[in-house]
């Protein structure tokens, strides 16, 4: 496979190109070693589109090209509001393939679950119903998705939360039923016999008999896993090696929703639907998507919005190991997503053994039991902030780490306070040096729960030479965040400048001058300190006019402020 840096350069080089005289490539959405996804624009219809591109090296992987074509066929022939459509495909530059898809504005269900799970049952069922409807439309055309998972479900922005199933690249397409492909056998394989592909966390038990055994009921099993996760915030099975996870799918009954997360309360009728979807025997599941839709429609009118509200106390009462490993899985998944658009998402690690509550949990539970008449959340946040400061002052990293995680839910803007941010930095540095699951929890909270201030703390850690382990962990997370577009412009250019090799840093100077702040200035001044000798490797430049002008511009801006 191509070198990752070369692939990134190739992906960036396509911006501005026009394919087939009508599709302009405007921006990178995601990139990987074998291809990229772009936001594009149809010059004739004046409509935004998504454009997926496979690099020329895929000629050495013909099965990828075949799956690309199958995705085009599937997307072009499933006409349903809950399936992202495909409208065109072609080649360019002697071997690169492109596919034009519907541009879905929103976020993946994976992102939604990472932020907000567990969901209210009514909301979870509305999302599940749309997924089931999309699957039903695909199944009716002889198309089995075979890789249904939260990452392949888009949820559009806005209050209606429209759902779109995406990425049919691993689908099984009954070609003659959909659209005959000239010059090819209808039953042409896109996978090697005996080879299993997809995402192990969301595979149906019948995969043990090979991919040929994966059929419509297998997609419904995957939907059952997704619905279970929406309702509990947790996957029903534990992390492990591939064969261990498959064995759980095959042999281990899924725990009840309440056993998996004691903080949720789901009506029995809904749990019955989930458990039927997760039957080991495909014949015991719903016979088709239409039957599932009827079951969902039967229970939805009876739901009460308050059956399982998304409240801080629910998160706090999760066993510490469950919260810890949920965070671990989310961080691991985010890292893998950023590495490649052709990834197989890693199964999240989980454990559900009850442990004694931390001080943060005790505070949260006590506050929920006797809420303040004025503002219980504000009181809880104040207590957590005070406790974090106290624990950090005592260098009690263990206690402070769990409080930091709890504070992220109670007050996501807490790190705006300089004292709280300093305490969070101290705690993260200490726990990051030691590593382990508490560090994963704390770093996840900083990356995803505290907004831009949490990312700022991670950057402070990443440039701390005295704590190399914490710095490496923070740097790895920040590199992923750059690809998601979450960091502010000054932080983004600082991260990119820090990572870039000397020969490429100069390419970033113009952006550094326009977007940089004190962090960027500090990095630039390290590139040519007094007595700099580039041959020693201690700096990049003995003299560089562009660098000097950039430093001067940043100093002038700082002085003006």
Domain ranges for the chain:
4-101, 106-310, 359-487, 505-560
Q: In the predicted model, is pLDDT for residue 311 greater than 70?
A: no
The residues, ordered by sequence, that sit 6+ positions from 396 with a Cβ below 8 Å of its Cβ are: none
Before 118, cis peptide (omega within 30)? Answer: yes
Separation between Cα atoms, residue 408 and residue 296, nearest integer Å: 34
The shares of helix, strand and coil residues in the chain, as percent rounded to the nearest 5, are 55, 10, 35
Separation between Cα atoms, residue 136 and residue 216, nearest integer Å: 9
What are the two backbone dihedrals, phi and then psi, of residue 195, each rounded to the nearest 5 degrees?
-100, 130
Q: In the predicted model, is pLDDT for residue 282 greater than 50?
A: yes
Residue 176 banded pLDDT, cuts 50, 70, 90: low
Query: Which DSSP string corresponds to 542-554?
Result: S--HHHHHHHHHH
For residues 239-251, give the mean pLDDT. 84
For residues 248-274, give the mean pLDDT. 93
- Quote the pLDDT of residue 343: 30
For residues 81-91, give the mean pLDDT. 91
pLDDT higher at 155 or 370 = 155
Contact in structure between 442 and 405 (CB atoms under 8 Å): yes
Alpha-carbon torsion 173, 142, 299, 286, what sign? negative
The predicted-structure confidence for 29-72, as pLDDT tens digits, reads as follows 877 656 788 999 999 999 999 999 987 665 556 667 777 777 78
- Quote the pLDDT of residue 353: 32
Q: In the predicted model, is pLDDT for residue 432 greater than 50?
A: yes
Q: In the predicted model, is pLDDT for residue 373 greater than 90?
A: no
- Quote the pLDDT of residue 315: 37
The predicted-structure confidence for 447-500, as pLDDT tens digits, reads as follows 878 888 888 999 999 888 899 888 888 887 787 676 656 788 898 888 888 888
Fold of 106-310: Transferase(Phosphotransferase); domain 1 (1.10.510)
Q: Nearest-CA neighbor of 342 among 109, 529, 64?
A: 64
**Residue 492 tokens, joined:** 């983004």
Separation between Cα atoms, residue 117 and residue 318, nearest integer Å: 12
- Quote the pLDDT of residue 310: 41
Separation between Cα atoms, residue 151 and residue 286, nearest integer Å: 24
What is the homologous superfamily of the domain 4-101 according to CATH? Phosphorylase Kinase; domain 1 (3.30.200.20)
**Residue 200 tokens, joined:** 């192990």
Q: Give the rounded percent of residues in the chain with a pLDDT score beyond 90.
A: 34
Alpha-carbon torsion 56, 59, 63, 67, what sign? positive
The predicted-structure confidence for 143-168, as pLDDT tens digits, reads as follows 999 999 999 999 998 778 999 999 88
Query: Is residue 248 exposed (0-12), middle (13-18) or buried (19+ Cβ within 10 Å)?
Result: middle
Contact in structure between 2 and 11 (CB atoms under 8 Å): no
Separation between Cα atoms, residue 128 and residue 67, nearest integer Å: 26
Place of tokens 């899924």: 254
Q: In the predicted model, is pLDDT for residue 73 greater than 70?
A: yes
Separation between Cα atoms, residue 325 and residue 171, nearest integer Å: 31
Global confidence as pTM: 0.54
Q: In the predicted model, is pLDDT for residue 392 greater than 80?
A: yes
Separation between Cα atoms, residue 102 and residue 155, nearest integer Å: 14
Q: In the predicted model, is pLDDT for residue 314 greater than 70?
A: no
Residue positions annotated with a catalytic role: 147
Separation between Cα atoms, residue 187 and residue 422, nearest integer Å: 62
Sheet holding 23-31, edge to edge: 18-19, 23-31, 35-42, 47-54, 96-101, 86-92
The predicted-structure confidence for 119-138, as pLDDT tens digits, reads as follows 999 999 999 999 999 999 99
The predicted-structure confidence for 177-235, as pLDDT tens digits, reads as follows 555 544 443 344 444 444 456 688 999 999 888 777 889 999 999 999 999 999 999 99
Q: In the predicted model, is pLDDT for residue 94 greater than 70?
A: yes
């Amino acid at each position: 496979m191509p070198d990752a840096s070369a692939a990134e350069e190739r992906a960036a080089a396509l911006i501005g190109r026009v394919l087939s005289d009508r599709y302009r490539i405007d921006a990178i959405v995601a990139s990987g070693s074998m291809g990229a996804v772009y936001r594009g624009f149809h010059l004739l219809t004046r409509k935004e589109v998504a454009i997926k591109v496979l690099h020329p090296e895929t000629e050495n992987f013909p099965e990828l090209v075949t799956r690309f074509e199958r995705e085009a066929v599937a997307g072009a022939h499933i006409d349903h509001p809950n399936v992202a459509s495909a409208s065109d495909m072609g080649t360019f530059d002697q071997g690169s393939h492109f596919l034009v898809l519907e541009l879905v504005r929103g976020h993946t269900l994976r992102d939604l679950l990472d932020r907000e799970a567990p969901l209210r049952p009514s909301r979870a069922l509305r999302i599940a119903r749309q997924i089931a409807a999309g699957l039903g439309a695909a199944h009716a055309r002889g198309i089995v998705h075979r890789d249904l998972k939260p990452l392949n479900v888009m949820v559009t922005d806005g209050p209606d939360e429209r759902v779109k199933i995406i990425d049919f690249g691993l689908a099984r397409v009954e070609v003659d039923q959909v659209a005959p492909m000239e010059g090819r056998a209808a039953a042409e394989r896109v996978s090697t016999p005996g080879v299993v592909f997809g995402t192990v966390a969301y595979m149906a038990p019948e995969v043990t008999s090979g991919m040929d055994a994966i059929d419509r009921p297998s997609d419904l099993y995957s939907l059952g896993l997704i619905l279970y996760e929406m309702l509990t915030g947790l996957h029903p099975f534990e992390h492990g090696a591939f064969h261990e996870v498959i064995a759980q799918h095959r042999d281990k009954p899924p725990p009840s929703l309440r056993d998996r997360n004691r903080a949720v309360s789901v009506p029995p009728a809904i749990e019955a639907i989930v458990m039927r979807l997760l039957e080991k025997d495909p014949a015991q599941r719903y016979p088709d998507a239409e039957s599932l839709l009827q079951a969902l429609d039967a229970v939805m009118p009876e739901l009460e919005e308050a059956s399982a509200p998304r409240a801080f106390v629910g998160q706090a009462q999760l066993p510490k190991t469950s919260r810890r490993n949920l965070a671990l899985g989310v961080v691991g998944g985010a890292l893998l997503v950023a590495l490649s658009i052709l990834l197989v998402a890693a199964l999240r690690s989980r454990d559900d053994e009850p442990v004694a509550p931390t001080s943060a949990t005790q505070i949260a539970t006590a506050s929920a039991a006797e809420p303040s008449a004025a503002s219980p959340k504000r009181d809880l946040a104040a207590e957590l902030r005070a406790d974090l400061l106290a624990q950090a002052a005592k260098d009690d990293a263990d206690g402070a780490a769990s409080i930091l995680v709890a504070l992220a839910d109670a007050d996501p803007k807490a790190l705006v306070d300089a004292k709280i941010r300093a305490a969070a930095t101290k705690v993260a540095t200490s726990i990051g040096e030691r590593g382990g699951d508490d560090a994963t929890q704390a770093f996840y909270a900083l990356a995803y729960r505290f907004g831009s201030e949490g990312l700022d703390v991670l950057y402070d850690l990443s440039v701390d030479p005295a704590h190399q382990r914490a710095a490496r962990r923070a740097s790895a997370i920040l590199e992923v965040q750059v690809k998601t577009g979450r960091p502010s412009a000054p932080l983004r250019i600082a991260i990119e400048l820090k990572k870039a090799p000397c020969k490429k840093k100069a390419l970033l100077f113009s952006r550094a001058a326009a977007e940089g702040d004190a962090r960027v200035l500090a990095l630039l001044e390290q590139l040519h300190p007094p007595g700099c000798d580039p041959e020693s490797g201690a700096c990049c430049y003995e003299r560089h006019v562009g660098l000097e002008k950039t430093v001067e511009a940043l100093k002038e801006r700082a002085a003006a402020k």
